[in-house]
Amino acid sequence: MTSTGKRRFVALFAVGALAASASACSSGGGDKKDNTAKPSAKTASVVIGTAADSKGPAAEVPGAKKGGVAGVLNRTGFSHLDPGRAYVSNLMTVSELISRRLTTYKREGDKTTLVGDLATDTGTTTDGGKTWKYTLKDNLKYEDGTPIVAADVKYGVERMFNKAWNEGPVWIQGWLTGSDKYWEAYPGPYEGAELPNDKIEVPDAKTIIFHLASPQGDFPFAAAMGTTAPMPKSKDTKEQIDTKPFASGPYKITTHEPDKQLILDKNPNWDPASDSVRHQYVDQFKFEMGIPGATQFQRLTAAAGSDAAAFTLNERPDANFAQQIATDPALKNRVTDGIGPYANRFDINNLRITDVNVRKAMAIAFPRQSARLAEGGPTAGDFSTTIASPTQLGYAPYKSLFDGLPPDGDQAKAKQMLEAAGKVGQKVVLCINTTKVQQERALPIMDMLGKAGFQMERKEISDKEYYDVIGKLDTPCDLYWAGWGADWPTGSTVYTPVYDSRQVLDNGQNYAKYKNPAVDAEIDRILKITDTNAQAVEWMKLDEKIMQDVPSIPYIYQRHRLVYGPQIGGAALNSKGAIDLNNIFIK
């Protein structure tokens, strides 16, 4: 099983999260009412849709109107818009609007459904997931009016074999060749060769068949990533595609000035009848880049001028703004509320703290509530008890060691456990980076764990080196924050890299350095189940099994409260934790 892609994703997510923390400028206090506030974020669980679900046009959004310009504020520039290379939530969100792919997610209220996008359904397999066949819908066109054919989808996948572009998802490349080093099997189209028919077969203009090296029940999910976006060979401008992709969705790029602005105008050749998820309500999307988080909140709160019809793409509130949302009911009405794919946790170094009872005591003493205040209290997210995010297929909470525990932990109980284990005075090195949130969060952790009898030390790491340092086998750290966002909402992209002992290596993603041969065996067994729904149940059981060893302390399910202007309609969270661009309209 390849994992290169997952490594990328977590690294990218980490950079985003850290940068978000860096831009936060709160005093971190939060109000005391937080103590009693009930978690209110909604959960959207995924289902696999049918051909009927995949049929266009998309249901009209109630009250939606056509016309107008929607402004979108973003902190950074869009470094990759080539659909095969976009692999962070804001990039994927924009890319999904411009570039159609074989499958995609339809979000209706709390319900998320995987549906066919270019394809008539989410794909069919006759051999338990080894061969996947897709049929393209009718009347699919690019921005220049030329028809989208199956060979273009194949060429799009071929491009992504180019070794230099592996910052994008590489699931399909790996599954087709059965190798982590897929480029050795096929170096991509720029070396002149095509991918042979025994890998991808295009019998006619509307049919594409993938022959995988081994069965992969999750292929329909992988096909929702930009790897399967079509690319006509004649329009391939290689690197330039990354700044200006050739559009197949309802909007095309008219202007893209990197780090400055991106303007999307309607693509007149997009046929709404062929698309079950996207709309073409606004005339134009105008993305402004380089707007710091605090400025975004300030502008969108004031909603002066064109800001009334603007929204943040995926900027989560800092502690100050969280407070403002909590106290301003009018503002509350124009803030999304939902849980994204990210489940955050504190990893314990299982190579250094080997006694499970000591790890358990750490979890019980851990002041999750005080720590969360540094990032805005409940607005940041609800306390988590599982490794899985609530967005994961088959998510079901189980009885955890946090049941019945006060929100700020039970230090007395932890101390008893530590005494029983004979480990009072156990040294714990808390590693933090230099961002404000991590700095402030460290204080209560140091304090409360110290109270429970641990001998606490803290060590600071620079932002850029954070994941390098905690990823080292001989890292000097014992306790450190880590976030994980699954590529798609099943357990396949969670447990495999994060708790597989085969990932305990330098720069591996098993940051907890957790080794349990029984868990490894379970992972292998579950991956072989091709019925995705049955598999999901098994993943949840594995989740519970892993947590019995307390390799990590679950922290929060990241909540996404994204603010939008009063004239914006149809704003809701997508599966990436950003505002869904498909349904946006101007009131």
Q: Tell the smallest beta-carbon distance from residue 288 to other proteins (Å).
A: 7
The per-residue b/e assignment along 212-225, b for 16 or more CB within 10 angstroms, e otherwise, is beebbbbbbbbbbb
Contacts for 56 with CB less than 8 Å, ≥ 6 apart: 137, 271, 272, 273, 274, 275, 276
For residue 552, give every residue at least 6 positions away whose Cβ sits within 8 Å of its Cβ, in sequence order, or none: 345, 346, 347, 348, 387, 482, 512, 514
Sign of CA dihedral 231, 233, 235, 237: positive
Is 103 in contact with 116 (CB distance < 8 Å)?
Answer: yes
Minimum CB separation from other proteins for residue 161, in Å? 11
564 belongs to the binding site for other proteins (CB under 8 A): no
Shortest reach from residue 295's CB to other proteins, in Å: 6
The 268-287 contact track toward other proteins, x by CB under 8 A, reads --------------------
Cβ proximity to other proteins, 85 vs 199, nearer residue: 85
Q: Tell whether the torsion through CA atoms of 414, 416, 421 and 426 is positive or negative.
A: positive
Is residue 298 within the footprint of other proteins (CB under 8 A)? yes
Pick between residue 163 and residue 528 the one whose CB is nearest to other proteins: 163
**Residue 291 in the binding site for other proteins (CB under 8 A):** yes
CA distances in angstroms from 47 to 224, 393, 484, 516, listed in the order given? 14, 7, 21, 31
Question: Among 324, 262, 314, 323, which Cα is nearest to 293's?
Answer: 314
Q: How far is CA 113 from CA 132, 288, 327, 456, in A?
A: 19, 30, 34, 46
> Is 473 a residue that touches other proteins (CB under 8 A)?
no
Residue number with CB closer to other proteins (178 or 305): 305
Q: Which of 43, 45, 306, 439 binds other proteins (CB under 8 A)?
A: 306
Stretch that binds other proteins, among 43-51, 289-297, 426-434, 554-562 (CB under 8 A): 289-297
Backbone angles phi, psi at 192, to 5 degrees: 110, -25
From 31, 110, 138, 257, residue interacting with other proteins (rule: CB under 8 A): 257
Contact between 167 and other proteins by CB under 8 A: the answer reads: yes
Q: Distance between CA atoms of 104 and 118, rounded to whole angstroms?
A: 9
How far CA 506 is from CA of 225, 466, 468, 470, 509, in Å, comes to 28, 14, 9, 9, 9
Q: Interface with other proteins includes 15 (CB under 8 A)?
A: yes
Closest CA to 293 of 586, 519, 561: 561
Size of the site for other proteins (CB under 8 A): 38
Minimum gap (Å) between residue 291 Cβ and other proteins: 5
Write each residue from 223 to 252 as x if it is in contact with other proteins (CB under 8 A), else as -, in one continuous string: ----------------xx-xx---------
Q: Are 115 and 492 in contact (CB under 8 A)?
A: no
Instruction: Using alpha carbons, list the distances in angstroms from residue 432 to 28, 319, 346, 445.
Output: 16, 19, 11, 11
**Is 577 exposed, middle or buried, given 0-12, 13-18 or 19+ CB atoms closer than 10 A?**
buried
- State in angstroms the smallest separation of the CB of 88 from other proteins: 7
Report the C-alpha gap between 495 and 343 in whole angstroms. Answer: 12
How many Å apart are CA 284 and CA 263, to the nearest integer?
7
**Which residue from 88, 231, 380, 432 is in contact with other proteins, where contact means CB under 8 A?**
88
Asked whether position 305 contacts other proteins by CB under 8 A, the answer is yes
User: What are the φ/ψ torsions at residue 73 (nearest 5 degrees)?
Assistant: -100, 135
Q: Look up residue 382 and give its two tokens.
A: 């609800």
Q: How many CB atoms lie within 10 A of CB 425?
A: 8
Q: What minimum distance in Å lies between the beta carbon of 282 and other proteins?
A: 19
Rounded Cα distance, 580 and 380, in Å:
20
Closest CB to other proteins among residues 299, 415: 299
The only residue of 164, 205, 412, 505 in contact with other proteins, by rule CB under 8 A: 164
Is there binding between residue 488 and other proteins (CB under 8 A)? no
Q: Report the nearest approach of other proteins to the CB of residue 174 (Å).
A: 15
* 456: contact with other proteins by CB under 8 A: no
Q: Is 505 in the site for other proteins (CB under 8 A)?
A: no
Shortest distance, CB of residue 208 to other proteins, whole angstroms? 26
Q: Which of 279, 299, 368, 441 binds other proteins (CB under 8 A)?
A: 299
The binding track of 31-70 with respect to other proteins, each residue x by CB under 8 A or -, is ----------------------------------------
Among 275, 307, 318, 500, binds other proteins (CB under 8 A): 307
Q: Indicate which single residue of 35, 45, 76, 207 sits in contact with other proteins (rule: CB under 8 A).
A: 76
Cis amide leading into 83 (omega within 30): no
Segment near other proteins (CB under 8 A); pick from 12-20, 59-67, 152-160, 467-475: 12-20
Residue 529 as a binder of other proteins (CB under 8 A): the answer is: no
Question: 289 or 526, CB closer to other proteins?
Answer: 289
Name the residues that contact other proteins, by CB under 8 A.
8, 11-12, 15, 19, 76-77, 79-80, 87-88, 163-167, 239-240, 242-243, 257-261, 288-292, 295, 298-299, 302, 304-307
